[in-house]
Structure 1
Amino acid sequence: MAFHQFWNSFWLLVTDSVILFAGLLLGNILLLHIQGIPVSIQYSALIVPVWWVGALVSGQAPGWGLGMIEELRRIELLLITVFGIAGVAYVLGQDRMLPSRIVYLSSYAFSAFLLPFGRIACRRLLGRLHLWGCNVALYGDTQAIERMVQVFKAEANIGYRPAGIFSDDLERGARVGKIPVLGGLHEASSHIGVAVASIAHLRKHDLVDFVDHDLAGYRKVVLFPDINERVFAWVTPRDFNGLVGLEVSRNLLVPIATLVKRIYETMLVLLFLPVWLPLVGVLALVLFCTDGKNPFYSQSRIGKTGQSFKAIKLRTMVPKADQVLQDVLDQDEGARREWETYFKLKTDPRITPVGRFLRRFSLDELPQLFNVLAGEMALVGPRPLPDYHQEELPEKARLLRGKVRPGMTGQWQVSGRSDCSLAEMELWDNFYVRNWSVWMDIYIMARTVRVVFFPLGAY
């Protein structure tokens, strides 16, 4: 394990260093063109070793076990700290440490954007070479084991590679996937450094004894209270004089958090206004030229506190679309079942050829940026639903969704889009409301870009 930990950390830090050096070089090149000052990174390159120390101390090298959102949070906070130290050096050094604010700001912006992507690329390369991650032992019942194997296979970036299973429900020598069962719950492996255990089935056992004795040989133990529910992503352990509690913060119910989210989303929309507004105009003109009809349409959707609003979209359907849909549902039982499950049809007779292209790349939703500016929607949030769709949700889900503004994109859209059922959409949207953070919004927006350019499940 130590061998893999060293080399995984080494290559991640090398990748980080290349990006940081590139950011410093870019800043100096800008400085050369703007002020004619020769390129020099002699002093500013000291940022790199400071970053190495911070990454090691904060557990970002190698970062096994970190989810994407948590890693993003740590990267950006460490970057702010490192450049904050550099800023202090800039002030105290009176231009001897950093040559210019241009270098300082451009280097930070470049690094903040590219560091997460550089790390993803590094991990994927190491993964293809079968060099990324560490072996872990899985503990639990059959259902928990199957779920853990599924999660760690789908989220290979976490770096946990299941190498052995310990369960009283499975026979020694059996396999789940390709992972062998090595023993029962009270056995352990001397060759694996990390244990991952589901404790939902341990209510009849002494948890402290299980961790301190049965899992005593592992360097790290990860406990899952319930492996089957996407409920809470952010919990903070609290010690109440020996009684351990888990604090759950509902950030979107804090007024200042809601205000911060509203401010930075509005700033983002206005910042990119010169890009998206002309694009909406061009697409609207193309639609008008195809059939001479109004290129825009609005549909009533349920917003915050259950209030209705008009969501603006580019028109992608034929005239009298509702009647066309009803005719299909009346004549095709398979289409009716599909509609009742997803409220969408993969082969939808209402959609025009141009509309199909717009939907594939989510371009039809660009006008909803006006809804964001009007305060009716957010950039990131639960999917805005029409009345008939909202009524299908349980009352608890409707109440939870009603606490926040619906979003143009969200956890549901980047986790399956139209391939997700109503229950899955409810699960993902509720998860977002419970666990919102700025980092989660950044993560979802970054994944949205990928989903838009590589559309899967969009129709």
Structure 2
Amino acid sequence: MATRVPRRGVAAAVLVLGDLVLLEATVLLGILVRLHAAHWFAIDVRPGNFAGVAVAVVFLPLAYALAGLYPGYGQTGVERLRKRVTVTALCFGAMILFDRLALDGLWSRGILLMAGAVAVVAIPLWDAVAQHLLIRWGGWGEGVVVFGPEDRRRALADTLTRHRELGWIPVAWAERPSSGEPPVPGVGLALVALSGPGIVPPSSADDLPYRRVVIVPDIGPEMGDVQSLWISVRDLGAELGLEMRRNLLDPVNQAVKRALDVVFAAGALVLAAPVIAVCAAVVAVVSPGPFFYVQIRTGLHGRPFRMWKLRTMVPDAARRLDRVIAQSDEVRAEWERSMKLRNDPRVVPVVGGFMRRFSIDELPQLWNVLCGEMSLVGPRPLPNYHLVRLEPCAQRMRRRVRPGITGLWQVSGRSTTSLSEQQRLDTYYVRNWSLWLDIHILCRTLLVVVTGRGAW
């Protein structure tokens, strides 16, 4: 298989240079704020102190490199986010501590605090933007060789092609490793896809002439999809163990998630109140009936609750849907595939499509979050006609968490995702949940909502 692979080192160079520029920019911002504050507070401003801080942040890329972020192929966006935030915060914290204990305050802690606070947000955003641009321009990824039976290696290659953010580009494949076979030039990574015992035994990886080898086990249909994040390898003597951290069962994590929900939902509801009021008034003018739409949805542990939305559909929406489905096989197929219609006849004219495109109709659900019925992030609470179409396993998984205003499949295609893809993404969220995953989804939600991408 002939596939173009980016030139080695380009992505790492872009990330390093971008990090250096951005870190120095955060220090410059801190210096400007500090100098501005000197007009109101008695602060001893010494330009020599600033130079020390500017030089110190140059060493942060070394910490990023040690964390495996240059370029960091094979890591999900959630893993990159966690590492970027953690390493940045720890490094700035260490510099503040060093300034206090070793330099007796020679550096400016105010500059460090300001630069650190900005960098913790700006560095992960830059990382995501740089990765997106490198993927778009063909500068992201390294070649990999895939070994395994044809069905398994094709499935694995398709997965890697879909998830380009991982940066693993299949350039060659084979049934099984051949003894003494030279490596593919320029490739240092091999993936061995197992398919039952003895097909491509893990021991065969010992003979592969590659610096890194990743074993991809065949879980089997009896186990279905399994957790893939927050897994640690355990050496059990002659056995290999995989420890899966079930974050949703940790009461501390649950308390933190709930606290963040309340704080952010309260602030967001205050800011969104004028927008809700204006849109409600427009709905009342252009369409008869109430401007709020309340429907019973299924929540945590299967408990029903009243979910609030701004009404975006006409009063006789159900009748219009039945009529358009009965008139067109193409429309029926579209509805069966995703439970959505691109040209939905039920939508209120003038304002309905606009509110749905930018998710303004979901803003009243901030009240549901404050009441503890929903979360900011989680599987979307579905209407019963949509919920019953899901497999029993997917329905059980959804009942383990509070439904969310936004979720993983909302930022992975919104209305364009098929029913099976919706199930897969929701179960992935529940199995792999962490606060980092929530932050990752919230950041992607802002981008998706602003662009209106994938919604109708």
- Shorter-chain TM-score: what band? 0.7 to 0.9
Q: For 1:24, which of 17, 27, 34 is the aligned residue?
A: 27
For 2:210, the equivalent position in structure 1 comes to 218
**Larger CA deviation: 40-49 vs 414-423:** 40-49
For 1:456, the equivalent position in structure 2 comes to 453
Is the 8 Å Cα contact of residues 99 and 107 (structure 2) preserved in structure 1? yes
**Larger CA deviation: 183-192 vs 265-274:** 183-192
Q: Residue 400 of structure 2: SS of its match in structure 1?
A: coil
Residue 443 (1) aligns with residue 415 (2): no
Residue 306 (1) aligns with residue 302 (2): yes
For 2:393, the equivalent position in structure 1 comes to 396
**Larger CA deviation: 106-115 vs 145-154:** 145-154
**Larger CA deviation: 34-43 vs 278-287:** 34-43
State how far apart, in whole Å, the 2-side matches of 1:127 and 1:335 are: 34
Amino acid at match of 2:185: H
Amino acid at match of 2:69: Q
Amino acid at match of 1:224: V
Deviation at 1:56, TM superposition (A): 1.8
For 1:355, the equivalent position in structure 2 comes to 352
Amino acid at match of 2:198: K
State how far apart, in whole Å, the 2-side matches of 1:419 and 1:60 are: 32
State how far apart, in whole Å, the 2-side matches of 1:142 and 1:39 are: 67
Question: Structure 1 residues 218, 227: CA separation in 2 closer, same or farther (over 3 Å shift)?
Answer: farther
For 1:433, the equivalent position in structure 2 comes to 430
Question: Structure 1 residues 284, 184: CA separation in 2 closer, same or farther (over 3 Å shift)?
Answer: farther
**Larger CA deviation: 20-29 vs 308-317:** 20-29
Residue 380 (1) aligns with residue 377 (2): yes
Q: For 1:256, which of 245, 252, 259 is the aligned residue?
A: 252
For 2:362, the equivalent position in structure 1 comes to 365
For 2:417, the equivalent position in structure 1 comes to 420
State how far apart, in whole Å, the 1-side matches of 2:82 and 2:196 are: 32
State how far apart, in whole Å, the 1-side matches of 2:184 and 2:387 are: 53
**Larger CA deviation: 254-263 vs 226-235:** 226-235
Is the 8 Å Cα contact of residues 135 and 160 (structure 1) preserved in structure 2? yes
Is the 8 Å Cα contact of residues 304 and 402 (structure 1) preserved in structure 2? yes
Residue 268 (1) aligns with residue 264 (2): yes
Deviation at 1:340, TM superposition (A): 3.3
Is the 8 Å Cα contact of residues 377 and 405 (structure 2) preserved in structure 1? yes
For 2:325, the equivalent position in structure 1 comes to 329
Is the 8 Å Cα contact of residues 198 and 227 (structure 1) preserved in structure 2? no
Q: Residue 379 of structure 1: SS of its match in structure 2?
A: strand
1:195-242 deviations in whole A, cap 9, x for unaligned?
3324332622463421101x1x11111222249975322211111122
State how far apart, in whole Å, the 1-side matches of 2:313 and 2:330 are: 21
Deviation at 1:381, TM superposition (A): 0.6
Q: For 1:161, which of 161, 169, 194 is the aligned residue?
A: 169
Is the 8 Å Cα contact of residues 148 and 200 (structure 2) preserved in structure 1? no
Q: Residue 413 of structure 1: SS of its match in structure 2?
A: coil
Residue 96 (1) aligns with residue 89 (2): no
Q: For 1:34, which of 33, 37, 61 is the aligned residue?
A: 37
Residue 207 (1) aligns with residue 201 (2): yes
State how far apart, in whole Å, the 2-side matches of 1:130 and 1:397 are: 36
Amino acid at match of 1:211: A
State how far apart, in whole Å, the 1-side matches of 2:314 and 2:46 are: 58
Deviation at 1:374, TM superposition (A): 1.0
Q: Residue 309 of structure 2: SS of its match in structure 1?
A: strand
State how far apart, in whole Å, the 1-side matches of 2:66 and 2:173 are: 31
Mapping of residues 162-181 of structure 1, within 5 Å: 162-167=170-175
Is the 8 Å Cα contact of residues 297 and 313 (structure 1) preserved in structure 2? yes
Amino acid at match of 1:294: P
Question: Structure 1 residues 96, 239: CA separation in 2 closer, same or farther (over 3 Å shift)?
Answer: same
Q: Residue 272 of structure 1: SS of its match in structure 2?
A: helix
State how far apart, in whole Å, the 2-side matches of 1:6 and 1:356 are: 45
For 1:194, the equivalent position in structure 2 comes to 188
Residue 110 (1) aligns with residue 102 (2): no
Segments of 5+ residues of structure 2 without an aligned counterpart are 1-5
1:49-85 deviations in whole A, cap 9, x for unaligned?
3312211211112212222111111111101210110
Kindly, what percent of the aligned residue pairs are identical? 36
Is the 8 Å Cα contact of residues 194 and 201 (structure 2) preserved in structure 1? no
Is the 8 Å Cα contact of residues 362 and 452 (structure 1) preserved in structure 2? yes
Deviation at 1:394, TM superposition (A): 2.7
State how far apart, in whole Å, the 1-side matches of 2:412 and 2:134 are: 25
State how far apart, in whole Å, the 2-side matches of 1:185 and 1:295 are: 71
1:393-417 deviations in whole A, cap 9, x for unaligned?
2322222211110111111111222
1:90-132 deviations in whole A, cap 9, x for unaligned?
43244312242xx333322321222123223434555566544
Residue 55 (1) aligns with residue 64 (2): yes
**Larger CA deviation: 121-130 vs 400-409:** 121-130
TM-score, normalising length: structure 2:
0.88
Q: For 2:315, which of 319, 342, 347 is the aligned residue?
A: 319
Question: Structure 1 residues 128, 417: CA separation in 2 closer, same or farther (over 3 Å shift)?
Answer: closer
Deviation at 1:292, TM superposition (A): 5.8
State how far apart, in whole Å, the 2-side matches of 1:259 and 1:120 are: 29
Q: Residue 33 of structure 1: SS of its match in structure 2?
A: helix
Q: Residue 51 of structure 2: SS of its match in structure 1?
A: coil
1:162-192 deviations in whole A, cap 9, x for unaligned?
2222236xxxxxxxxxxxxxx8698452524
Deviation at 1:377, TM superposition (A): 0.6
State how far apart, in whole Å, the 2-side matches of 1:262 and 1:384 are: 18
TM-score, normalising length: structure 1:
0.87
Is the 8 Å Cα contact of residues 251 and 257 (structure 1) preserved in structure 2? yes
Deviation at 1:360, TM superposition (A): 1.1
Instruction: Count matched residues.
Output: 439
Amino acid at match of 2:67: S
Is the 8 Å Cα contact of residues 297 and 312 (structure 1) preserved in structure 2? yes
State how far apart, in whole Å, the 1-side matches of 2:328 and 2:137 are: 49
For 2:3, the equivalent position in structure 1 comes to none
Amino acid at match of 2:210: Y
**Larger CA deviation: 351-360 vs 291-300:** 291-300
Is the 8 Å Cα contact of residues 84 and 124 (structure 2) preserved in structure 1? yes
Q: Residue 191 of structure 2: SS of its match in structure 1?
A: strand
Residue 151 (1) aligns with residue 129 (2): no
Is the 8 Å Cα contact of residues 144 and 187 (structure 2) preserved in structure 1? yes
Amino acid at match of 1:43: G
